A and B are shown apart, each in its own frame.
Chain A
Amino acid sequence: MMEKMVFGRYIPGDSFVHRLDPRTKLIFVFIFIAAVFLANSTASYALLLGFTLFAIIVSKVRIGFLIGGLKPVIFLIAFTFLLHIFFTKQGDLLFEFGFIKVYEEGLRQGIYISVRFLVLVLMTSLLTLTTSPISITDGLEVLLGPLKKIRFPVHELALMMSISLRFIPTLMDETDKILKAQLARGSDISSGTMKERVKAVVPLLVPLFVSAFKRAEDLAVAMEVRGYRGGEGRTRYRQLKWDWRDTTALLILLLLIAGLWLLRR
């Protein structure tokens, strides 16, 4: 069931994009999101779309994975597109079908907003598809580093995130096992009234919690034995390295912003 989920999933690879420092990719995506709102002309939207396609090609990510990632939001895009088509009544009347009237401006706005959505979703998917969750965590830890000065527990948060990520597959496995054990004891989750179904979840949740707590306890002991006592005095094994690729990527981003600025109406 979960195996079919592609959105937000990391697909290992060895492209230019894969090899970028996670910090670069995070900064890049944040600035890109802001830059998207600079676009306000057909030419600037075309540039955004073209740039996104270029990024996809450079990343060598299979289109299938990206389309998979788009599925959850395709309805949203279609909905906003239609909303603009039907409710913007400016410009020339393009065509009429019964009570439906489509105006030029409506079509344009519909397309603009869809492109905006599309590039946002594609670029963030590209980030998660080409960067392992653990690298994203590393990148965030470093980028948020300055917040330590105001006593924000950056290290602890990053460790929490990385341990959660590490245990997701373990707990999914566990869920599957407990579910099967209860099914074998005649538990029935897929039929009955709403109330019965909610009740049927208890035999699943209680063992899952018990096991998660047990794991947490074991893990805490194992960490303590291995000398963990908070972030102070710790060194880092995972080193982030900034190289020419990262500089290039950020220069390209600057060029994109300049282009968008010039193409504004």
Chain B
Amino acid sequence: MERILSMEDIRFTYTPEETDKPYAVDGVSLDMHQGEWIAVVGHNGSGKSTLARLMIGLLFPQEGTVSLFGDALTEENLWDKRSQMGMVFQNPDNQFVGATVQDDVAFALENNGIPFEEMTVRVREALAQVKMERFLDHEPQHLSGGQKQRVAIAGALALRPRLLILDEATSMLDPQGREEVIRVILELREKTGLSVISITHDLEEALLADRIIVMNRGRKFAEGTPPEVFARGEELTSLGLDLPFAARMTGLLRERGLELEETMSERKLVESLWTSRSNG
């Protein structure tokens, strides 16, 4: 599989003059393959958002290299690389550039000089992917937070990117908005095989990933599949992270003397409770 992103021993600080301050990102390496889905989790201030900004060249590391689609990222190829990526940020209001939904989705296309006829096709196609095609002429103030984030995703998809970065895209939404957005990214994953990096502290979002990277104080604290990572239980909670509901319940039930296997799936947990009830 083609490697689309790799970071090698990245170090970055916002205050290079102040040598006594810790680095925001400190010696992180990372490889990502085409079609992969990676969640980066960590508490606020763990360096996860800085990491995202380094990936798309909003920041350049003081040490180490970021490579995208096979080439090292430089000031020269920055715009070309960016045209193959999309990024959705936290605040739904602050990334809505256009006057209406369709204008906003077209923004990146205009910037990249896509001809008008092609744009109309792509705008509609991208909005259909996030189920917002009926809102072409709506103005942002008449949309919910979840709808605005879906438009932002469409704005990124319109460029037909190879990599989509979600930087805490669901953290300011209400439960319904969060669910809408997660449903949309799940569908995208199934239908398009798009590579996604989601920076998040929402566990439901993290559980969808193939691989989870846990950040703490600028360093990579843990990395692995969701079951591998969440098996570290207590260690994660001490970092200010949560465990999935099923994992928390399993812990509480074990304390109460039930013999249960570690699991993150509510389905599995309830099934094993049913069996132990009828056998017990």
Cβ of A128 to closest chain B Cβ, rounded Å: 15
Contacts of A233 in B (CB 8 A): 113
Contacts of B114 in A (CB 8 A): 235
Distance in angstroms between the alpha carbons of A55 and B114 in the assembled complex: 39
CB distance B155 to A225 under 8 Å?
A: no
Q: Is B89 an interface residue (CB 8 A)?
A: yes
A162, A222, A238, A239 — which one has the most chain B CB atoms within 10 A of its CB? A222
CB distance A219 to B119 under 8 Å?
A: no
Cβ of B105 to closest chain A Cβ, rounded Å: 9
CB distance A224 to B97 under 8 Å?
A: no
Pick the interface stretch among A97-105, A119-127, A164-172, A247-255.
A164-172
CB distance B99 to A237 under 8 Å?
A: no
Contacts of B113 in A (CB 8 A): 233-235
Contacts of B19 in A (CB 8 A): none
Distance in angstroms between the alpha carbons of A132 and B99 in the assembled complex: 10
Q: Main SS of chain A's interface residues? A: helix
Q: Is B95 an interface residue (CB 8 A)?
A: yes
CB distance A166 to B140 under 8 Å?
A: yes
- Against A, the Cβ 8 Å flags (1 = close, 0 = not) of B101-113 are 0110011111111
CB distance B79 to A237 under 8 Å?
A: no
CB distance B110 to A235 under 8 Å?
A: yes
- Against A, the Cβ 8 Å flags (1 = close, 0 = not) of B98-141 are 11101100111111111110011001000000000000000111
Q: Is B37 an interface residue (CB 8 A)?
A: no
Contacts of A223 in B (CB 8 A): 97, 107
Within 8 A of A (CB), among B128-159: 139-141, 155-156, 159
Q: Is B160 an interface residue (CB 8 A)?
A: no
Q: Which of A162, A218, A237 contacts B110 (CB 8 A)?
A: A237
Q: Is B67 an interface residue (CB 8 A)?
A: no
- Against B, the Cβ 8 Å flags (1 = close, 0 = not) of A199-232 are 0000000000000001100110111111111000
Q: Is A43 an interface residue (CB 8 A)?
A: no
Q: Which of A132, A169, A173, A222 contacts B95 (CB 8 A)?
A: A222
Contacts of B116 in A (CB 8 A): 235-237, 239
Within 8 A of B (CB), among A233-265: 233-239
Q: Is B247 an interface residue (CB 8 A)?
A: no
CB distance A162 to B99 under 8 Å?
A: yes
CB distance B95 to A218 under 8 Å?
A: yes
Q: Is B51 an interface residue (CB 8 A)?
A: no
CB distance A226 to B155 under 8 Å?
A: yes
Q: Is B68 an interface residue (CB 8 A)?
A: no
Cβ of B75 to closest chain A Cβ, rounded Å: 12
B99, B107, B120 — which one has the most chain A CB atoms within 10 A of its CB? B99
B residues contacting A by CB (< 8 A) are: 56, 58, 79, 82-83, 85-87, 89, 91, 93-100, 102-103, 106-116, 119-120, 123, 139-141, 155-156, 159
Shortest beta-carbon contacts, A-B, top 9 = A218-B94, A237-B106, A222-B95, A227-B111, A226-B108, A134-B99, A169-B141, A225-B87, A228-B111
- What are 5 A-B pairs with beta-carbon distances under 8 A? A169-B140, A219-B95, A235-B114, A237-B120, A237-B123
